[in-house]
Structure 1
Amino acid sequence: MNKPGDSDVKSAVRVLEILELLARSPKALSLKTIVAELGYPKSSTFNLLATLVSRAYVLRDEADAYRIHDAFRNGPGWSSGDEAQLIATAQPLMDALRDAEGETVFLGARRKDGRVKLLAKSASHRAIRFDSDLTGSDPAFCTAMGRVLLSHWRPDKVAAYLARERIVQITDHTVIDRVQIRRIIEAARDNGYAISDQEAITGGSGVAAPVRDATGEVVAALNIATISPRFDACRDRMIAAVIRNAAELSHRLGYKETTKDQ
């Protein structure tokens, strides 16, 4: 007879073994393959996978195959609570935006130090595309997501970040004048989006818009990133698309337009 809590322990072990299996696999695995590999009942395996997908630890693709989220493959980088829910809510929308625009889509949040933490991505299927690993952090002063996130942060926090960050000439296009950087950040708040055009990476451009939670707080930034020639050709369309989809993601997180902007 099982002791109290035995079933919970068994489920915990199965969750860990599913994650370990997916982390070892270089490609997405079907439910059938996972069941055959681990020897678990199909119904309970499906339910455990559904839970992992809902918490964004695992992604389910169009072919109903499962893969571990890139942020968790090599660890650390586990997320929980609001951040996990944000990723789970955003991923389907990001995939649809990627397919509609043909470009890579990122979701990023502001770290406590002001830099940008990449939370999720939907990589373009094009042979020539913009891409980045979900590891480390990116400077905020020269990236589209960073500028959006700074524009909705307390002024004293922004000032502290700019004083602390190394404002360096990353590319020939990087803006390093602090007065101009502040003007760009203010414009991002006024316009509802920010652009980085070859300022963080030569040949790479992108546009980002704010994502709000139910309280109206900006909790993330949605970003379309591409190679610069394609951005130049489709600039207005990409701006409109990222604003529209960031608004839709905010809506799915419970934000109402009548909520007071914070």
Structure 2
Amino acid sequence: MGVLFTYMNSEIKSAGRILDLLEYMASRREAVPLAQIVRDLSFPKSSAHGLVQTLAARGHVVQDDVGRYMLVEASRHGFPFRRHEEPLVVVAKPFMEKLRDESGETILLATMNAHCDIRRLAKCVSRHRVRYDVNLDAAIAAYCTATGRVLLAFTPKETLEHYLSRVQLLSYTRYTVTDIERIRDVLTKVRRDGYALNDQEFVTGSTGIAAPIFDGTGAVAAALNLGVPTVRYNEQREGFLLMVRSAADDISRALGYRR
């Protein structure tokens, strides 16, 4: 009976550490190295390594190219995380952090499925006291957001036409474009210019700039979005646009894309 008690107590301790580690990772805005996890949680190094490897094997944690660990956003927000999206997040995250630091604004990474549903995969939140932020699993309208417009603009024509034939064009703000022909013109412009803009069409007082991320096959794999309070966008619009497009190009090259 004494041996059984010791075994159960050990299992409970391990479960507690897993929960502590998950809570710790969820509280971190940046990827963290194993040494920092050990220091911050006071775990034995061997135990911490085993725990993060267990979480990684189950798809809850990924490791970047310099060995730091980050919680997969899907684990934090509850939607299923597809296997092909994990490498995308790992590659994009350092560039997102750099763009967040250079611009001072919130950066988002998103993809779209065949039904034109947008999935936000990751974010790096601005450190400004007044900033744009959103839950990754919050609903998003493709036709009136910068992220959605980039992904719609580069989707196959049949997929786009099916989306436009069934979507209900709602006015989220007084700036929302709901005329379908104007939306077609906007998407044509996005394909030509290589970026999309949403200026207070989805949320009053916030502006989004997005650019496509291409994979090694030349297909659009995701959209990179910078979200900013409109007042700051008006002060630095050209600079923000250049930074977003440059970061999207860097991620595309890291994914193997060559023009």
Q: TM-score, normalised by structure 2?
A: 0.81
1:65-89 CA distance string (max 9 Å, x none) = 8652443124233332x21000000
Change (3 A) 1:106 1:178: same
Q: Are 2:38 and 2:45, in contact at CA under 8 Å, matched by a contact in 1? A: no
**Residue 38 of structure 2: aligned partner:** 32
CA 1:199/1:20 → structure 2, altered by over 3 Å: closer, same or farther? same
Partner of 1:120: 122
Deviations 1:218-241 (A, max 9, x none): 010001110001111111111111
Q: Is the 8 A contact 1:103 1:124 kept in 2?
A: yes
Which of the numbers 44, 48, 53 marks the counterpart of 1:48? 53
Range moving further from structure 2, 70-79 or 208-217? 70-79
Tell me the equivalent position of 1:79: 82
Query: Partner residue of 1:246?
Result: 248
For residues 130 and 139 of structure 2, the distance between their equivalents in structure 1, rounded to whole angstroms, comes to: 24
Aligned residues: 237
Contact 1:148 1:209 in 2 (8 A): yes
Cα distance in 2 for residues equivalent to 1:93 and 1:136 = 23
Gaps of 5+ in 1: 1-13, 258-262
**Contact kept? 1:31, 1:65, Cα under 8 Å:** no
What is the match of residue 57 of structure 1?
61
After TM superposition, list the pairs within 5 Å mapping 1:190-209 onto structure 2.
190-209=192-211
Equivalent in the alignment of 1:155:
157
Q: Which residue in the other structure is 1:170 paired with? A: 172
Aligned letter for 1:48?
Q
1:91-106 aligned within 5 A: 91-106=93-108
- The match for 1:21 is 20
TM-score (norm 1): 0.80
Structure 2 gap segments, 5+ residues each: 1-13
The question of whether the paired residues in 2 share the 8 Å contact of 1:170 and 1:200 is answered with yes
1:201-249 per-position Cα deviation (integer Å, ceiling 9, x unaligned):
0101011000000000001000111000111111111111111110000
SS in 1 for 2:123: strand
State the 1:48 CA deviation.
2.3
The answer on whether the counterparts of 2:199 and 2:208 sit within 8 Å (CA) in structure 1 is: yes
Q: 3-state DSSP class of the match of 2:27?
A: coil
Aligned residues: percent identity? Answer: 31
**How has the CA–CA distance of structure 1 residues 236 and 157 changed in structure 2, closer, same or farther, with 3 Å as cutoff?**
same
> 2:137 aligns to what?
135
Distance 1:122 1:186, change over 3 A: same
Q: Read off the aligned partner of 1:71 and give its amino acid letter.
A: A
Note if contact 2:210-2:226 (Cα within 8 Å) is conserved in structure 1: yes
Q: Secondary structure at the match of 2:242?
A: helix
Are 1:145 and 1:223, in contact at CA under 8 Å, matched by a contact in 2? yes
**Deviation for aligned residue 1:166:** 1.4
Equivalent residue, structure 1, for 2:8? none
1:187-226 to 2 correspondences below 5 Å: 187-226=189-228
